């Protein structure tokens, strides 16, 4: 694949695939959504580091092409998942460069049409950094997605050094609290205080909250007691291939 070989400096057959990590409803621990995460594999079968591959794709601009592939692949795999209710949704990450490429409208529309997937089954994750410059391109895209029925959440929330007051004006439906806070909250009172204040702000602004990186029963209990909406992390499942996900779904129901 030409794109992959560009990214990896010539390793011809680097394979793209998508893994899916479940997101559970905090109350009943049923499956609420799956987050689609890109995977890059060498001909030898080793997985390359996703974050560095995405960063390289972002820097080179290839992310728009890879992103379009990601929409097509994850939407159509998701619409073929068996045994999930039609309330279950698909989360997809958008990088800043993707958001700023005008083709994204058509890429999303075409992939959704092709997979016969309504946009109200989709959740788009964007990072806090996108909002720092308050640019109209970002606001227009997110507004359009929400008008079409999609959900928009801010990923890795709390790491971006932005003030909380700006949240009120943004075209978003929820936040995902960064894993670094969840990881430390049962030992570090400051991390717990941050988590509590994020939940209070989200409640006041009527935003959903997802806790990322929930690994222990103690962390789950804290988040349930604080009325967090959704939980995601290794306690439930690591990201799984579409094939392995079938087992997870069958066990969950």
- Binding residues vs Mn ion (CB under 5 A): 155-156, 176, 212
- Tell me how far apart the alpha carbons of residues 94 and 22 are, in angstroms, rounded to a whole number: 18
Smallest CA-to-CA distance from 28 within 210, 248, 216, 224 is with 224
Does residue 199 bind ligand G (CB under 6 A)?
no
Segment contacting ligand G (CB under 6 A): 49-57, 106-114, 167-175, 203-211? 49-57
Rank residues 1 and 204 by Cβ distance to ligand G and give the closer one. Answer: 1
Does residue 180 bind Na ion (CB under 5 A)?
no
In contact, 163 and 121? CB cutoff 8 Å: no
31 bridge partner residues: 24
Indicate the helix (H) or strand (E) that contains 123.
Answer: strand 122-127
Q: Which residue has the tokens 């049409």?
A: 113
Segment contacting ligand G (CB under 6 A): 91-99, 113-121, 141-149, 197-205? 91-99
- Tell me how far apart the alpha carbons of residues 175 and 65 are, in angstroms, rounded to a whole number: 27
Q: Return the one option of Na ion, ligand G, Mn ion, none that residue 46 interacts with (CB less than 5 to 8 A, by type).
A: none
Does residue 215 bind ligand G (CB under 6 A)?
yes
- Tell me how far apart the alpha carbons of residues 181 and 19 are, in angstroms, rounded to a whole number: 24
Rank residues 79 and 160 by Cβ distance to Mn ion and give the closer one. Answer: 160
Of the candidates 109, 134, 234, 247, which one interacts with ligand G according to CB under 6 A? 234
Interaction site with ligand G (CB under 6 A): 21, 37-38, 50-51, 54, 70, 93-95, 155-156, 179, 212-213, 215, 233-234, 239
């Amino acid at each position: 694949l030409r794109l992959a070989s560009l990214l990896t400096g010539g390793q011809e057959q680097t394979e793209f695939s998508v893994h899916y990590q479940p997101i559970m409803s905090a109350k009943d621990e049923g499956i609420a959504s799956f987050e689609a995460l890109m995977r890059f594999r060498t001909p030898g079968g080793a997985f390359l580091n996703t974050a560095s591959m995405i960063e390289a794709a972002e820097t080179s601009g290839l992310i728009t092409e890879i992103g379009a592939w990601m929409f097509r692949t994850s939407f159509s795999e998701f619409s073929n998942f068996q045994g999930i209710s039609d309330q279950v949704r698909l989360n997809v990450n958008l990088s800043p460069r993707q958001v700023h490429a005008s083709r994204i409208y058509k890429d999303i529309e075409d992939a959704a049409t092709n997979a016969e997937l309504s946009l109200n089954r989709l959740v788009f994750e964007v990072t806090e950094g996108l909002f720092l410059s308050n640019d109209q391109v970002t606001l227009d895209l997110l507004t359009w997605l929400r008008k079409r029925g999609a959900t928009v959440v801010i990923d890795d929330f709390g790491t971006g050094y932005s003030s909380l007051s700006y949240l009120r004006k943004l075209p978003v439906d929820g936040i995902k609290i960064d894993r670094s806070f969840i990881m430390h909250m049962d030992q570090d009172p400051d991390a717990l205080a941050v988590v509590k204040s994020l939940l209070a702000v989200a409640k006041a602004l009527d935003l959903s909250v997802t806790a990322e990186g929930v690994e222990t029963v103690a962390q789950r209990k804290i988040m349930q007691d604080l009325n967090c909406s959704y939980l995601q992390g290794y306690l439930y499942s690591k990201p799984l291939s579409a094939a392995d996900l079938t087992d997870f779904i069958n066990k969950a129901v």
